Amino acid sequence: MRVIELSNHPGDMLNDASRQRLAAEKRALDGYEDALIQYRARVQTIRVKRDRARARRRWWTWLRLVFAVSREKRKIPRQALQTTGSTNLEEKLRAGIGDSADHLSDRQQAEIQRLIQQDHDFHHKRRRTGPSRPR
């Protein structure tokens, strides 16, 4: 018996949803990394200004920048929560695809095979003997 897949629309939709979720996670991670780079640059800039003020003996500027460094260090960007699971759409699509033979239990697959074989035997026997005559 040859099986020809005519359409795998739910599977395609599931693949699209997975790709979109992964792309969104990557965008969020890239945004966090960019914010972290900017944060480190701001802190480093203030530290350099603080060190220059100390070297030039500008004590009020140095004191102000000491507090600015600690204030800026508290503004570290927060990383977005990582979603390791799948989205609701993916779960719904998986549940809809769950009727396929890949997700059937062994008992269900055996029952289907038995019914197919029974049907095959019936038609094979009928072909050999010919149609039965009505009484």
What's the average pLDDT block by block, 10 residues per block, for the chain (135 residues)? Answer: 72 86 89 95 97 96 96 91 74 70 70 85 70 63
Total domain count, the chain? 2
Q: What is the C-alpha to C-alpha distance for residues 98 and 112, in angstroms, rounded to an integer?
A: 16
Asked, for residue 1, whether it belongs to a domain, the answer is no
Whether 67 and 47 have beta carbons less than 8 Å apart is answered as no
Question: Tokens 């997700």 identify what position?
Answer: 103
Domain span at 34:
9-100
126 lies in the same domain as 85: no
Residues 116 and 130 in one domain: yes
- Please indicate, yes or no, whether residues 70 and 121 belong to a single structural domain of this protein: no
Q: Give the global pTM.
A: 0.56
